[in-house]
Structure 1
Amino acid sequence: MSEPMDPNDLIAEAAMELLREHGPQTAADWGNLLADAGHGTPDDMTEFVEYVEDPLLGYLTGARYAALDTLFEHRILTHRLTDAEISSGVLDANPDLMVLRVFLDSFDDNEDREIRVVHRGLDDAALAERGIDDPTFPADEGFLLAPDALSECAAGDLIGLFVADRELTLCTVADVVDPTPGFADALANILTDTGAETLDAIVWQLMLEEPTLFRQPAAPLGELLESAGYVRDGDYVAIEGFDFEAFHLANRARMLEIRDNLHPDEAAAVIALVDLVSAAHLEFPEDTSEIGDWARAQITENPQIYVAVAEPPAAAAALELLSELDDHDEILHAVATALADKGPRRVKPAAYWLAGKAADRLGKVIVAEAYYESALDRDPDWVPAIFELALLAADRSDATRALALLGRIEGGESEILHDVLARYAPAEHPELGRNDKCWCGSGRKYKVCHLGKSEITFDDRANWLYIKAQLFSRSPEYFDVVFDLAEVRAQHWDDDDALTRALEGGLAVDTALFDSNIFGVFVERRGELLPADELQLAQQWLQVPQSVYEVASTVPGTSLTLRDVRTDVAYDVADEWGSLNLEAGSLVCARVLPAGSAMRTFGGIEPIAAADKDGLIALLDSPDTEPWQLVEFLSARFAALR
C-alpha cells in the first residue's frame, strides 16, 4: 500500500488547481481562495502559498503568482536549426526555447521522456554519445531529442515546440506571423521600471498581457528581441546600451542587505572584496605567486571601498560568498593578507581573520591561529577572531583558555561551545600553590602537572573528541551537508522539533561526519592541535565503518554485546539505551568505536528488521551508496510508527 500524501502536499496541489482555475493571484487573494475552499484561515493560507514549490509556478509583476501550464497552453515557440543540432538531435535551447524547460523539469521520469533537458557540464557523457565534442555546444542547457528527430530538416529551417496538456510536441514550421508592434510595445511596458528582467519573467508577462501572442508560430525569441532593439546578458534582457554591470551590482547589494542584514556601505564593501578575489582568479588562473603584489596595487588605488568589511557580519558574508567559488582559498589568502597590509587600519582585524580562515582551509591551522592573534592585536574585541581561537583551544583540550576567551564575548556563556567546555574544564585546587606538589601523587609540581589541565579520564575525552568533530561540522563550511542529512532524517518524524533533534546528534550527524568525510577533514586539519592520544584514537575511528550487528546479550542499564554479522566479531559496548531497549537476537546498525577502556556508539544505535538486513548490507558494501541513502533507509522504519 502506498504511503499517504503529506497534508501540506495535498494543500499545495489544491492551491495549484485554484490558480489554474482563477488565473494569476496575489498571495493574499490566493490564500483567500484556499480558505474559501476549506483549507484553513485566510492568514494561514496566505503565508502557506508563499512557500509553495512547483516547477509550474511562476512569479509575475504586481506580486502575482501564475500556473505556467495555463499560460503556455496552446502556445508555440520556434527555433532556427543549425547543422550541429540536426546531426546530434540536440537543440541549443537558449534563448529561443529555454522558457519551456519547466515542462520537462516538472516530471520525475525525465530520463524516459521523448524530449529531456541536458546540461553542459553535467550530461557531457550523453552529449558525447551524440557526437558532440564542442564544449560550447550547447552553451548551457539543451533539449535532447531522438537521434534522428531532425534528420529530414536542413540548416535554417524553423521547428516549433507546441504546448498542450503540459506536454511538448515537436513540429516543423513553414510560415510565421509577425507579432510586432504588439511584441515590442508590450516588452517596453514590462521593462519601463526595472530596466532589465529575466527572459522567463518577460515571456510569462507577455503571454498574460497579450493573449494572442505565440498562438501562431512567430520568429524565434532571440530574433524578436534583437529586431526590437534588446540585448541579453545571461538570463537578463534589456534595451541595447543598458548598464548591466551596474544593474547586477545593485542586485547583489540588495541581496546582501536583505539576506545578511547589512548596511548598504557594508554590502558594497563585500562586493568590492569578492570582485577583487574573482578578478585575481581570472588574472592568475594557474600561478598564484604574484597575486599578493597585484592585490596590493589594486587595494592601494582605492583602499576606502573595503573599509566596511571591518564589521563582523560583512566579513562573514564575504567569506560565505567566496566559499561558493572553486579553488578560492589560496587566492583569498593572498588578497586578505594584501588587505591587511594596504587596507585601512579599521579593516585589518577582518582582513587577518579572512586570511586565517583561508589558511585553515589550506591545512595550515597554526598559521591560521597566528592570523587570529594578529586580528586581536589590532582589535582585542573583534569577536570572530576570539571565537576561532576559543575553538582551537578547545581542540587542544585546553578548556581553561577556551572558556576565558568565550568570557570576552558578550553572551559567550550561551554558546554551545561554552556548555561543552564546562563539562570538561579542570577542577580548581585553590589550596595548592603553583610550586606545590600536584594532588595526583605524581611527585611533580602542580604548575607542570595538572594546573589548568582537565582531570577527566581518557574514556571521557573520547566523548569530547567526538563532540569536537561535531562542532567542526557545524561551521558554515560544512553545515549544509549536516543540515541536508538531518532533513532526510527529520521528514520521518512527526513532531515540530524533528529537525532540531536530528541536528543535535545521532544518525544524520554521524553519517555526515564519517560517510561525507567531515571527520576525515577534521583529523587532517586539526590533528596537530589534538592531544597525541586523541589523534591516535581519531585515526582509528577513520577505519571503522557502520555495520550490521546482532544483539548477543545485554546487561540492563550498562552495556550490551554486539556481534558483527559480516565479520562474526563481537564487541562489548557501553550503551545504556541499547542495554534497556534491545533484546538478544535483534538486529541493529551502528558504528562501534573504541573509546579508551570501552567501546561506544556515539552516533546511536539503529534497530532494523530482519527483512531489511540484506538490503542494508548491500547499501553498506556498495561504493556507489550516497550518505543520504543510508539515512533514508535507516529512518524509513519511523513511517510505520506515525
Structure 2
Amino acid sequence: MADEFDPIGAVEQILTAHGPLSEDELLRRAQEAGATYLEFEELLDDVGDVIGHLVDERWVWLPTVLDGRVLTRRVTADELTHDILIVAPDLEPVLATPDATFTDATPAVVVSPLLDARALGERGIPSEAVDRNGALLLSAGTLSQLGVSQGELVGVRLTEQGLAVERVDAPAEAPVGERLAALLNDPPVDLAGAVWTLCQQDRTLFTDPLLPLGEIIDAQGLKRRADLLAPADFNFGAWDFERDCEHLAFLHDLAPEETLALTTLLTMHRQYSTLVAADPDEELQSPEEFEGSPWVADFTDVSGELGAVLAEPELAEVLASETAGTGRAGAAGLGMLAESLEPKVPRSAQVACRWLRAVSLERLGDVEGAERELLAAESMNTDWAPVLFDLARFASDRGDAERGLSLLRRADAEPDDAMLALLERHLAQPRNDLGRNDTCWCGSGRKYKKCHLGHEPLSLAERAGWLYSKAAQHTVLSGWDDMLDEVAYERSRYSEGSGEILAALGDPLVMDAVLFEGGAFEEFLAVRGALLPDDERSLAEQWLLVDRSVFEVEHVNRGLGFTVRDLRTGDTHEVQEKSGSRQLKAGQLICARVLPAGDTMQLFGGMEPVALHERDALIELLDAEPDPTELVAFLSRRFAPPTMVNTDGDPIVMCRATVKADDVAGLQTALDDRYHRSADQDLPQWYEHITTHGMNRIGASLTLDGEMLTVDTNSERRMARVLAALKQLDPELQVVEEVRRPLDDFDDVAALAAHMPAQDADSPEVAAALEDFIRDYETKWLDQPIPALNGHTPRQAADDPTRRGDLIKLLDSFPVDGAARGGMDVGRLRLALGLE
C-alpha cells in the first residue's frame, strides 16, 4: 500500500533541503515526490500560506525563514487599552504563517473590524480601534504586564514554541531601509515578500529588534500603499490606471484609443460614486452639486472627446457592464456621469448618455423614470440597439408582445435571441373558429378583422410562464450574479470539468432558489411590478405566499399532468405539466414549488426527486426556511459519488500502524488474552472480532515481526480503538509509523479487490452458504432500524398504518430479481411482513 502524498510535508522537505525554488522547479520536485498536480496553482491551493513568495519570484518555506525573527510595533493608546497590536505594516510579514499560536499554545488570532464583529464585541473592543487590515488579539493584560506605555516599542518574535510578545527598550540599528530600496527594481513589490527576501539573504537580520517597518519605510522616503512598497517617485495612480487599461482591453478586446477613453470614464464614475457615498445618510445628490470639484475638474476639458466613443453601442454597453454591481452609490454615479457628459459629447453619442441615465434610474429602482429616458433616447436615434432592446423588455413586462417584437426586429436581434423567442411564444394567435369577416367573438358587433384579430388576449394560465421569465430576466440583469454563482457552485459541486458552474447556471432549480429563497422575485415585484398587467401582478403576489414543499405523486396522466399531495399540509393539487408528467410515476416523491396560474396549477423551477430516507430531513429543512445555498446543497447531494463505508458505517480508510514493543513476550501473552490468535500463519497474528448487523466480522489484524507489531484496519475509528487498547496492554509501546489511505471511489475498491483471494461462485457449497447467509440476513433485516423508515424497523412499519406506505415504497425500490443476483428476496420479505 503506497503512502498517501502529503503536500505540506513534501514541500517542507523540498524547500528545506534545496532552499528557494521557482514555481516550475518546486512543482517538478513535488511531482517526483508523488504529487499528481499538473499546475503549480493546484499545489499552492493545498499548501496555502505556509510558503512565501520572494521578490525574485522564488518560493521559500516561511517557518524556516522567519524562525527567530522579531518585528516591532510602537503601541498606541487604543492598543494598550484593548491589548491588541495593529498588523499592517509593521507586523504583517511575521504573522503570515497559518495556524500560528503564542508560546503558551493559545491561538494567535488576527481580527478584522468587518469579519470579526462578534469577537471584538466579546472583548469590548470598538471596531474603530482596529485597522481595516486587522489587529493581533493578545490575552487580556499582556501589554500592561510587559510594562510598556504609549509610544513605546513591543516586539513579536516567531520561535519554535510559537509567537512571543516582548518589550523593546533600545532597538538595534541596521540598513534595512537601504536594502528594501535596493529590491525595488520592478515596483511595486509586496512588502511582506520584500522582508522575507531580506531574511533569506541575511540570517542575522531582524534577529534583534529594530525600529518598526513603517518608520523605516518613511525614513527612507519610500511609498507604501496597503501591502505594496515602491520608490519615492512612484505614481500609484498612474500604475492603477495602466493596469485597469490592460484588464479592460483584455476583457473586451478593445483598441488602444477605446481602452484609454473607457478607462478614463470609469475613473470618473468611481469619483462621482465616491462623492455620493461620502455621506450615505444624505439624499442622493445631483451632478450640479459637484461643479468645481477638484476630483471632477481634472477631466472637464477632455470628457467630451472621451465620451464620443459612446456613440458605438458596444462601448456604451461595456461602460454599463463595468459599473454594474456597485450599489446605489455606483448607480447614482453612473447617472451623474451621463448627465455631465451629455452636453459635451457629439450628437451621435448623446443617445448613449440618455440610455446610461435610464440604466442608472433602473438600478435605483425608478423603472418608470428609466422608461421615460429610454423613450427620449429612442426619439434621438430610432435605431440605437441598446435602447431598443431595453424598450422591448419594458414592452414584455407590460404584456405587449407585438410591440416588443417590433422593437427587437428594428434592433436586428439574432434569431436565437432569448427575448425574441419568449415574445414569439406569447404572441397572440388568431382564432381558428372565426373567419376574418365574421362578427367578433367579444360582442362588439364589429368584424373580427377590425376588432380582435391580432390582439387575442392570452389567458392568465398561458401567461404564467411569461411572468416567471420576466422575473428571471430581472434577476440576471440586476445584480444577483454573486448569489447565482454561489448557488450554481453548490449545484455543480459534484460535477467534473471547468464548465460545470456555467452549465449549472441554466439549471431551473438554481434560478428558482435565487428567485424565491434568495428574495429576487420579491425585488422584481417591488421594482417592476408597476409595469405588469394587473392580473399578473396579483398572481405574482400570490406566488410570494407559496412555499416550496415535498409532494407525493398520486396519479399521472402522461403528456398532460399529474396529481400530487403536499406532505407538509395534506393539500392535493392537479398540476398541468406536459413534460414533467412523462418522467413521473405514482408513489414518487418530489420537491417543487406548485404555483397557481389562473385556473390551473403549474410547476416552475424544476422537480427534484426525493429519496424516501431524505424525506423527513428535507421537510425539516424547508420548515427552517433555508437560504438558497442551503436548499440547493441539500437537493444536490444525490449527485455526490457513493461513499465507501465499512459495516460500522465508517468511511473506509486503509490504516496501518507499526508499533515497537520492548517486552515482546509480555506483549504476545497480552494479545493472546485479548484477541483471537491465528494458527496457520508464519508470523504470530491476531484478529479483533466484532459483531455488526448480527454477524461476526474481523475489525483489525495484528502481525508481530520481531519487536515490531503491525496493525491493519479499514477505518480510522477502528485503528484508534486498537491503538488505545494496545496502550492499555503496554503503556511503553511506541507508534513508529502510521499510514492512512482513503478509498475514494470504486476504482480504489477494485484495485483492493484484485489482491483478495477469489472464490468458486459455481461451487454448490458456496451457493448453499450464500443462500443460508441471505436468509439469515433477511430475518435480521426485518428487525433492524432503517433510515428510510425514519429509524423504524420493517416489522414496526408494517404494523403502523402511517408507516406502511413508506415500507411498501421501500420494498418497491428493491430489484425484483434480487434473489437471483445474490440479494434479498422481496417476495419472502413481503410474505414475512404480511404484505402479500
TM-score range, shorter chain: 0.7 to 0.9
Matched AA of 1:266: A
Q: Superposition pairs for residues 333-344 of structure 1, below 5 Å? A: 333-344=335-346
Mapped to 2, the partners of 1:250 and 1:406 lie a distance apart of 38
2:179 alignment partner, one of 175, 186, 189: 186
Change (3 A) 1:540 1:50: same
1:273 to 2:268 alignment: yes
1:228 to 2:230 alignment: no
- Higher mean C-alpha displacement, 610-619 vs 438-447: 438-447
Secondary structure in 2 aligned to 1:515?
coil
Measured against aligned partners, the alpha-carbon deviations of 1:505-531 in whole angstroms (never above 9, x if no partner) come to 322211111111111111122212222
Q: Superposition pairs for residues 517-596 of structure 1, below 5 Å? A: 517-575=519-577, 579=581, 581-582=583-584, 584-596=586-598
Measured against aligned partners, the alpha-carbon deviations of 1:365-416 in whole angstroms (never above 9, x if no partner) come to 2221222233344444433223222222222233333333333445622333
Change (3 A) 1:199 1:62: closer
TM-score normalised by length of structure 1: 0.83
Instruction: Give the equivalent residue in structure 2 for 1:3.
Output: none
1:128 to 2:121 alignment: yes
Measured against aligned partners, the alpha-carbon deviations of 1:335-366 in whole angstroms (never above 9, x if no partner) come to 42333244443432222122111111222222
Mapped to 2, the partners of 1:228 and 1:204 lie a distance apart of 19
Mapped to 2, the partners of 1:614 and 1:176 lie a distance apart of 68
Mapped to 2, the partners of 1:234 and 1:469 lie a distance apart of 41
Residues 171 and 209, structure 2, Cα contact 8 Å, conserved in 1: yes
Using the TM superposition, give the Cα deviation of residue 423 of structure 1 relative to its aligned residue in structure 2, in angstroms. 2.5
Using the TM superposition, give the Cα deviation of residue 93 of structure 1 relative to its aligned residue in structure 2, in angstroms. 1.4
Larger Rg: 2
Matched AA of 1:93: V
1:293 alignment partner, one of 288, 291, 301: 288
Mapped to 2, the partners of 1:228 and 1:256 lie a distance apart of 35
Instruction: Give the equivalent residue in structure 1 for 2:82.
Output: 88
Using the TM superposition, give the Cα deviation of residue 540 of structure 1 relative to its aligned residue in structure 2, in angstroms. 0.9
- Higher mean C-alpha displacement, 477-486 vs 334-343: 334-343
Instruction: Give the equivalent residue in structure 2 for 1:628.
Output: 629
Change (3 A) 1:375 1:75: farther
Mapped to 2, the partners of 1:57 and 1:309 lie a distance apart of 46
Residues 489 and 504, structure 2, Cα contact 8 Å, conserved in 1: yes
Mapped to 2, the partners of 1:269 and 1:640 lie a distance apart of 50
Using the TM superposition, give the Cα deviation of residue 595 of structure 1 relative to its aligned residue in structure 2, in angstroms. 2.0
Mapped to 1, the partners of 2:506 and 2:211 lie a distance apart of 57
Matched AA of 2:75: L
Instruction: Give the equivalent residue in structure 2 for 1:4.
Output: none
Q: Superposition pairs for residues 208-223 of structure 1, below 5 Å? A: 208-210=200-202, 212-223=204-215
Using the TM superposition, give the Cα deviation of residue 193 of structure 1 relative to its aligned residue in structure 2, in angstroms. 3.0
Instruction: Give the equivalent residue in structure 2 for 1:77.
Output: 71
Residues 303 and 344, structure 1, Cα contact 8 Å, conserved in 2: no
Change (3 A) 1:159 1:279: closer
Mapped to 2, the partners of 1:105 and 1:360 lie a distance apart of 46
Measured against aligned partners, the alpha-carbon deviations of 1:134-153 in whole angstroms (never above 9, x if no partner) come to 62433541222333443412
Residues 161 and 168, structure 1, Cα contact 8 Å, conserved in 2: no
Mapped to 2, the partners of 1:372 and 1:139 lie a distance apart of 42
Matched AA of 2:88: N
Using the TM superposition, give the Cα deviation of residue 13 of structure 1 relative to its aligned residue in structure 2, in angstroms. 6.9
1:467 to 2:464 alignment: no
Mapped to 1, the partners of 2:66 and 2:155 lie a distance apart of 14
Mapped to 1, the partners of 2:555 and 2:65 lie a distance apart of 65
1:373 to 2:368 alignment: no
TM-score normalised by length of structure 2: 0.65
Measured against aligned partners, the alpha-carbon deviations of 1:135-181 in whole angstroms (never above 9, x if no partner) come to 2433541222333443412225544444468x952331547774632
- Higher mean C-alpha displacement, 25-34 vs 357-366: 25-34
1:599 alignment partner, one of 586, 598, 601: 601
Matched AA of 1:127: L
Change (3 A) 1:178 1:18: same
Secondary structure in 1 aligned to 2:135?
strand
Secondary structure in 1 aligned to 2:468?
helix
Residues 328 and 363, structure 2, Cα contact 8 Å, conserved in 1: no
Residues 11 and 30, structure 2, Cα contact 8 Å, conserved in 1: no
Mapped to 2, the partners of 1:594 and 1:10 lie a distance apart of 56
Instruction: Give the equivalent residue in structure 2 for 1:119.
Output: 112
- Higher mean C-alpha displacement, 289-298 vs 631-640: 289-298
Residues 274 and 321, structure 1, Cα contact 8 Å, conserved in 2: no
Mapped to 2, the partners of 1:158 and 1:397 lie a distance apart of 71
Mapped to 2, the partners of 1:75 and 1:407 lie a distance apart of 70
Matched AA of 1:303: S
Change (3 A) 1:613 1:321: same
Matched AA of 1:270: L
Measured against aligned partners, the alpha-carbon deviations of 1:56-112 in whole angstroms (never above 9, x if no partner) come to 4655555556665565455443323334323323222121123455434899xxxx9
- Higher mean C-alpha displacement, 66-75 vs 428-437: 428-437
- Higher mean C-alpha displacement, 302-311 vs 562-571: 302-311
Mapped to 2, the partners of 1:387 and 1:75 lie a distance apart of 62
Instruction: Give the equivalent residue in structure 1 for 2:328.
Output: 327
Change (3 A) 1:614 1:205: farther
Residues 79 and 158, structure 1, Cα contact 8 Å, conserved in 2: yes
Using the TM superposition, give the Cα deviation of residue 198 of structure 1 relative to its aligned residue in structure 2, in angstroms. 3.9
Q: Superposition pairs for residues 247-266 of structure 1, below 5 Å? A: 247-262=239-254, 263-266=258-261
CA RMSD of aligned residues (A): 4.1
Mapped to 2, the partners of 1:497 and 1:243 lie a distance apart of 39
- Higher mean C-alpha displacement, 515-524 vs 326-335: 326-335
Using the TM superposition, give the Cα deviation of residue 462 of structure 1 relative to its aligned residue in structure 2, in angstroms. 0.8
Mapped to 2, the partners of 1:32 and 1:612 lie a distance apart of 46
Mapped to 2, the partners of 1:192 and 1:515 lie a distance apart of 52
Mapped to 2, the partners of 1:440 and 1:47 lie a distance apart of 69
Change (3 A) 1:572 1:433: closer
Q: Superposition pairs for residues 48-59 of structure 1, below 5 Å? A: 54-56=48-50
Residues 77 and 161, structure 1, Cα contact 8 Å, conserved in 2: yes
* Percent of aligned pairs sharing the same letter: 33
Mapped to 1, the partners of 2:359 and 2:22 lie a distance apart of 44
Count of residue pairs the alignment pairs up: 624
Mapped to 1, the partners of 2:34 and 2:588 lie a distance apart of 47
Residues 571 and 599, structure 1, Cα contact 8 Å, conserved in 2: yes
Mapped to 1, the partners of 2:14 and 2:438 lie a distance apart of 80
Q: Which protein, 1 or 2, shows the higher relative CO under an 8 Å CA cutoff with sep ≥ 6?
A: 1
Using the TM superposition, give the Cα deviation of residue 192 of structure 1 relative to its aligned residue in structure 2, in angstroms. 2.8
Matched AA of 1:225: I
Mapped to 2, the partners of 1:67 and 1:436 lie a distance apart of 88
Q: Superposition pairs for residues 410-489 of structure 1, below 5 Å? A: 412-427=414-429, 443-444=445-446, 449-453=451-455, 456-475=458-477, 477-489=479-491
Structure 2 stretches lacking a partner, 5+ long? 643-744, 746-836
Instruction: Give the equivalent residue in structure 2 for 1:505.
Output: 507
Using the TM superposition, give the Cα deviation of residue 37 of structure 1 relative to its aligned residue in structure 2, in angstroms. 5.7
Mapped to 2, the partners of 1:470 and 1:278 lie a distance apart of 28
Matched AA of 2:273: S
Instruction: Give the equivalent residue in structure 1 for 2:646.
Output: none
Mapped to 2, the partners of 1:459 and 1:639 lie a distance apart of 37
- Higher mean C-alpha displacement, 530-539 vs 85-94: 85-94
Mapped to 1, the partners of 2:262 and 2:7 lie a distance apart of 36
Secondary structure in 2 aligned to 1:96?
coil
Residues 280 and 291, structure 1, Cα contact 8 Å, conserved in 2: no
